[in-house]
Amino acid sequence: MTTNLDKPPHFIQQIINADLAANRVDKIITRFPPEPNGFLHIGHAKSICLNFGLAEQYGGICNLRFDDTNPEKEDQAFVDAITADVKWLGFEWEGDACYASSYFTQLYEWAMYLVTKNKAYVCELNAEQMRAYRGTLTEVGTDSPFRDRAASESLMLLDKMKIGEIDEGAMTLRAKIDMSSANINLRDPVLYRIKKISHQRTGDTWNIYPSYDFAHGQEDAIEGVTHSICTLEFAANRPLYDWFVAHLPVPSEPKQYEFGRLNLNYTVTSKRKLKLLVDEKHVAGWDDPRMPTISGLRRRGVSAQAIRNFCDSLAVAKTDGTVDVAQFEHFIRDDLNVNAKRAMCVIKPVLVRLTNTSDITLSTITAPNHPNNELMGHRNIPFSEQIFIDRADFTEDTSLSRKKFKRLVIGDYVRLRGGYIIRADEVIKDNAGAITEILASVVPNTVGKDAPEGIRPRGVIHWVDAKTAKNCRVNLYDRLFSVADPDAGEGHFLEYLNPQSLIKVTGCKVESDLALAVPGDYYQFEREGYFTRDICSDDELVFNCTIGLRDSWKA
């Protein structure tokens, strides 16, 4: 449940409370109405959590409804992705998902009803002429020359539009409202356009499709929605929403309310811009882990609970605002810190050969899967005379102080995470002078014990057993854009793409058990960050970095 009852009620809860107290409604019905023309993104998550959360809080229901009124841009693949995303977030709806296309016949009948009541007419202005006739914010519009067309003629032409006898763009059906209204949305808006395109659900049955503004409120009325909650950009459309409800014989009278949408810095959430990123292959698809889509976040390793916790923390207000992405990242780290198993991965491995292993018993080292949660159990980590450590954890520079370099130095000691203390004794290099191997010695009896007197390890480093470690690739992700507001300034948003948003590192070494990891398992690779296995071919082991242990963008 996303609605936090410990917080003061926000303005929509106050409205619902008042409606229930006054018996204006007896059961709360909300809806989440995505258009299936792309994948859901983090902004949609706030709306999902709000609509489903309110229904849950008040013992009502929330419909998942696809506003599939524009087959030119819609696809069944988007329907499937949206359905999966909502379920993954942990929300369920009563019965089957709803579709605007299920109501096409009823909407058409209501369109004819408006024509018979002299509230709609078939107009032959083209798109450019219609814009000119509509006027501006400071100038009233001009009536269409077809505005006073007889209802019988409009009905005849509407039928011809419907059965495909009229060319695309030649005619539209428009509501007859007020061309002098200060609200441009009321200046005879379009109800139907001709689109001779097959629909993913209705096939070739229709040659005309309703506009979103005409369909949306009537869908709400058919479903008995009591509180139609939209983002703030639809506030100017509310008078039109109310006009349709008032002038049609709808079975219920829903009310629309608007709240501020979620905007994140270093991010774009415009579907048009996300589609451009996909179409121009700046990313590898809608579920690319750099994308702010719910599918992308899931693939990157962000949990559903982290997204819900973040959305629950946000204000539900009547104003738009931009949230610092670091706030979202805080909830991601907070969730993973508690729920991610610990493991070790060496991203840039260098071989360490232990020269005195005859002094110890080689077998396995037992380590907890989580330092603060015994219920996560323990794992056995193989340990042999050859291990890998990260190249950044070793230096030949013996002049560095312990404060400046808390890792392995020639002639000095370091503790292996969960294991022995070792000392670096010698390095072996190739002809080019690159280190190929570090010779080191083990300090016996130091697993889980304090260092012997006279030995003071510089620090603790992670490692993996060289004989059993699995090769893997690590995808290191960063923010997709290098500036806080990619849409600001004179440049196109694509100019601000971060060239370091994805770095693929091959030849990494990971604990052998992680070969069995599956997407959706969360790991903290100790001292590196949080990772999950990517959705990839079975013969390749790839881990995506969800987020680092610390915010690397802090000044």
Which residues are known to be catalytic?
A: 35, 261, 271
Q: What percent of the chain has pLDDT over 70?
A: 98
Q: How far apart are CA 207 and CA 198, in angstroms?
A: 8
Q: How far apart are CA 265 and CA 481, in angstroms?
A: 9
The single residue listed with the structure tokens 């499937």 is 80
Mean pLDDT value across residues 183-198: 97
Domains and CATH numbers, the chain: 11-264 (3.40.50.620), 271-339+472-548 (2.40.240.10), 349-468 (2.40.240.10)
Q: How far apart are CA 292 and CA 267, in angstroms?
A: 7
pLDDT band at residue 321, thresholds of 50, 70 and 90? confident
Backbone dihedral region of 527: left (phi > 0), alpha (psi from -120 to 50 degrees) or beta?
left
Q: How far apart are CA 390 and CA 388, in angstroms?
A: 7
The single residue listed with the structure tokens 């949206």 is 82
Query: How confident is the model at residue 6, as a pLDDT?
Result: 67
pLDDT band at residue 223, thresholds of 50, 70 and 90? very high
User: What's the gap between Cα 64 and its chain centre?
Assistant: 18
Q: What percent of the chain has pLDDT over 90?
A: 93
Burial of 131 (0-12, 13-18, 19+ CB in 10 A): exposed
> Do 427 and 355 form a contact (C-beta atoms < 8 A)?
no
β-strand partners of 543: 474, 533
Query: How confident is the model at residue 3, as a pLDDT?
Result: 45
Q: How far apart are CA 19 and CA 13, in angstroms?
A: 10
Mean pLDDT value across residues 325-335: 97
The single residue listed with the structure tokens 């629909």 is 199
Q: How far apart are CA 466 and CA 469, in angstroms?
A: 5
Structure-model confidence comparison of residues 24 and 5, the more confident one: 24
> Do 427 and 439 form a contact (C-beta atoms < 8 A)?
yes
Quick check: 229 pLDDT over 90? yes
pLDDT band at residue 4, thresholds of 50, 70 and 90? low
pLDDT band at residue 1, thresholds of 50, 70 and 90? very low
Strands (E), 232-340: 255-259, 262-264, 321-323
CB count, 10 Å around CB of 348?
A: 15
Mean pLDDT over the full length of the chain: 95
Burial of 530 (0-12, 13-18, 19+ CB in 10 A): buried
Backbone dihedral region of 79: left (phi > 0), alpha (psi from -120 to 50 degrees) or beta?
alpha
Q: Which residues contact 315 (CB under 8 A, 6 or more apart)?
A: 10, 260, 321
Query: How confident is the model at residue 5, as a pLDDT?
Result: 54
The single residue listed with the structure tokens 């002094």 is 359
Query: How confident is the model at residue 536, as a pLDDT?
Result: 80
Query: How confident is the model at residue 2, as a pLDDT?
Result: 43
> Do 381 and 511 form a contact (C-beta atoms < 8 A)?
yes
Mapping DSSP to helix (H, G, I), strand (E, B) and coil, where does residue 440 land?
Answer: strand
The Cα-based distances of 348 to 279, 345, 394, 468, 492 in angstroms read 34, 9, 11, 17, 36
Query: How confident is the model at residue 513, as a pLDDT?
Result: 95
* CA trace torsion 121, 125, 127, 128 (10° rounding): -140
User: Mind listing the pLDDT tens digit for each residue in 111-163?
Assistant: 999 999 999 999 999 999 999 999 999 999 999 999 999 999 999 999 999 99
Q: How far apart are CA 420 and CA 423, in angstroms?
A: 10
The Cα-based distances of 113 to 117, 233, 238, 244, 332 in angstroms read 6, 29, 21, 11, 52
Helix axes 238-247, 212-223, angle to 10 degrees: 60
Q: How far apart are CA 213 and CA 240, in angstroms?
A: 7
Backbone dihedral angles phi then psi of residue 277, each to the nearest 5 degrees: -60, -40
| CA-based R_g, the chain, Å | 31
Q: How far apart are CA 339 and CA 336, in angstroms?
A: 5
Q: How far apart are CA 525 and CA 462, in angstroms?
A: 9
Model confidence, pTM = 0.94
User: Mind listing the pLDDT tens digit for each residue in 16-55?
Assistant: 999 999 999 999 999 999 999 999 999 999 999 999 999 9
- 404-413: burial string, b at 16+ Cβ within 10 Å, e else: ebbbbbbebb
Q: How far apart are CA 194 and CA 207, in angstroms?
A: 6
**Closest C-alpha among 225, 187, 268, 212 to residue 100:** 212
Least confident span in 278-287, 362-371, 385-394, 456-465: 362-371
Quick check: 490 pLDDT over 80? no
pLDDT band at residue 363, thresholds of 50, 70 and 90? confident
